[in-house]
Amino acid sequence: MQPNLLWRLLTGVTMISLLLAACSKDMARNPNTGRDSTAISTNDSIYNIFKDIYLWTDAVPDSATFKPNSYSSPYTMFDSLIGFKKKSNGGNLDKYSFLDDGTTADVLQGHAGDLGFQIGWQTTSELRVVYVYPGSPADKAGIKRGWKMSAVNGTTSFTYGNQATEDVLNKAFSAASANFVFTKPDGTTITSTITSAQYNLNPILFSKVYDLGGSKIGYIVFNSFVALDVVKSQFETIFNDFKTAGVTKVVIDLRYNGGGYVSTAEYLAGKLAPASVANQLMYSTVFNSRVTNKNFNWFFKTMKAVPDYPDELWSEIFYSEATTYAKTNFGATGGLTLTNLSFIMTGNTASSSELLFNVLKPSMNPHMVGSTSYGKPVGFIAVTIGAIDMYSINMQSLNSKNEGDYFDGFTPNVQAGDDYAYDWGSFQDPMLRAALTDMGVPASALGRMAAPESNRLGRISRFYNKANQFKGMIFPKVK
């Protein structure tokens, strides 16, 4: 296999359709359990593929013991499959693998279809706008981060953890349109009916160069690692501006970023890394022994990766990725000479976001500000089976120092809580303020800090915005 035919697979996914005719024929010869033959074929297909490529395959029972066709649906079967790998305390290690209907792949290609904003609980009774995607219906309605959501479809009272409140919010955010009343920071209100629509996802929510304490500091808020071609031109402009301005310190804000394409993480790593690591190892990937030894079952061994690469066998693709192409080097670096690099991260920060932090640790010792990250040093190759995309963990990533066991997340150098009352770039934002002062910016240069609310909750609500439901990393196919 030639390198330009590779899927970049690290802690990420690649959308590939599988032809399951061979498995379906075999299932037709199996004893009928009374269920629909298509369901039996799907269950057995998922199990066989999963058993071969799952990183923790040794924890999964054999087919005779597990009995894939005894489950009423692929979803209930999959929930059981991912429950076999345990932590030392007895809990499930695999909090990552999932089945999907194709929404994830669509969003990470830069296509979204919703209202375009996210809300969070400022207190147990107050909801605020957490972020708004540029170009989305909410953005076109003028909605900004920090605004209080005073009413939705006539409901004006909200309670954290209350099912009636959750029902109201679910209904509003899943409907074709909903009526909202927002209160701005100056106390004025705006009433707007926002209609769900398709829009091009732009996850670069904010960027700015600050001149503080004698230093030029670049700040970027990045919300999702969409495919590189969606954001590359905008990032090129931002980093060129950083170089022109003489930026020597950078803050990358990933507080809500659940991951995405690893190729985008690699690109950003190259833009931030020092010149000394050019062409040096960035990270490596580890697969299970079945993959590295090419010890696949008959089904997977003979399966072609159609329709994308009809002449390629899945077994050869996986084997090549686990052996020949298991290491990724830095390319040419971006030309910045940084003295300080900080990442703002929270429990909503996962996968490609954590990968970016981890691969820069050996050469830059970046600081982390916020709260413990999600913890996802593993990734998947998404396999499409009928109408289902299967995301099963296939590999683990390790940086150049073989560090990659952050299953419980990264612990911040500086603890800081979120506050939804302030727009991006405000020095009243406790996370940005903590990152800047940690870099040596005098607090006096940032103005007086308002007293925090004693009852501030600071919890992002359930992910009503589809673009933030995914936690993982994806590598696109390159032909």
The domain that contains 428 carries what CATH number?
A: 3.90.226.10
Statement to judge: residues 228 and 330 lie in one domain = yes
Q: Is the pLDDT of residue 381 over 90?
A: no
Any idea which of 34-38, 109-113, 447-451 has the lowest mean pLDDT? 34-38
Statement to judge: residues 264 and 162 lie in one domain = no
Q: How many CB atoms are closer than 10 A to CB 29?
A: 6
Statement to judge: residues 248 and 135 lie in one domain = no
- Per the structure, how many domains does the chain have? 3
Statement to judge: residues 36 and 179 lie in one domain = no
Residue 252 lies in a domain: yes
Statement to judge: residues 275 and 263 lie in one domain = yes
Residue 170, pLDDT score: 92
Residue 457 lies in a domain: no
Statement to judge: residues 296 and 275 lie in one domain = yes
- Interval 167-178 mean pLDDT: 94
C-alpha–C-alpha distance, residues 25 and 381, integer Å = 25
Residue 8 lies in a domain: no
Statement to judge: residues 122 and 168 lie in one domain = yes
What is the phi/psi pair of residue 370, to 5°? Answer: 130, -120
Q: Is the pLDDT of residue 101 over 80?
A: yes
- Interval 370-395 mean pLDDT: 87
Residue 390 lies in a domain: yes
Residue 101 lies in a domain: no
Q: How many CB atoms are closer than 10 A to CB 262?
A: 32
- Interval 219-240 mean pLDDT: 95
Using one digit for the tens of pLDDT, what is the confidence trace for 118-133?
Answer: 999 999 999 999 999 9
Sign of CA dihedral 68, 71, 77, 79: negative
Task: Give me the domain span that covers residue 134.
Answer: 112-200
Statement to judge: residues 187 and 209 lie in one domain = no
Residue 66, pLDDT score: 97
Residue 374, pLDDT score: 95
Query: The domain spanning residue 191 has which CATH number?
Result: 2.30.42.10
Beta bridge partners of 446: none
C-alpha–C-alpha distance, residues 149 and 180, integer Å = 7
- Interval 361-380 mean pLDDT: 95
Any idea which of 14-18, 245-249, 253-257, 445-449 has the lowest mean pLDDT? 14-18
- Determine the residue type at 293: N
Statement to judge: residues 251 and 195 lie in one domain = no
Residue 103 lies in a domain: no
Q: Which residues contact 332 (CB under 8 A, 6 or more apart)?
A: 270, 278
Average pLDDT value over all residues in the chain: 86
- 426-441 burial, b if ≥16 CB within 10 A, otherwise e? bbbbbbbbbbbbbbeb
Any idea which of 6-10, 25-29, 45-49, 176-180 has the lowest mean pLDDT? 25-29
Domain end position, chosen among 200, 216, 232 = 200
Residue 111, pLDDT score: 80
Q: Is the pLDDT of residue 13 over 80?
A: no
Q: Is the pLDDT of residue 35 over 50?
A: no
User: 260: left (phi > 0), else alpha (psi -120 to 50), else beta?
Assistant: left
Residue 280 lies in a domain: yes
Statement to judge: residues 294 and 345 lie in one domain = yes
Domain end position, chosen among 64, 95, 126 = 95
Statement to judge: residues 192 and 214 lie in one domain = no
Beta bridge partners of 398: 284
State the angle between helix axes of 74-81 and 37-53 in degrees (0 to 180), rounded to the nearest 10.
Answer: 20
Predicted confidence band of residue 333 (pLDDT cuts 50, 70, 90): confident
Residue 396, pLDDT score: 95
Residue 211 lies in a domain: yes
Residue 308, pLDDT score: 60
Q: Are 273 and 333 in contact (CB under 8 A)?
A: yes
C-alpha–C-alpha distance, residues 403 and 377, integer Å = 10
Q: Is the pLDDT of residue 1 over 60?
A: no
C-alpha–C-alpha distance, residues 472 and 12, integer Å = 6
Statement to judge: residues 193 and 233 lie in one domain = no
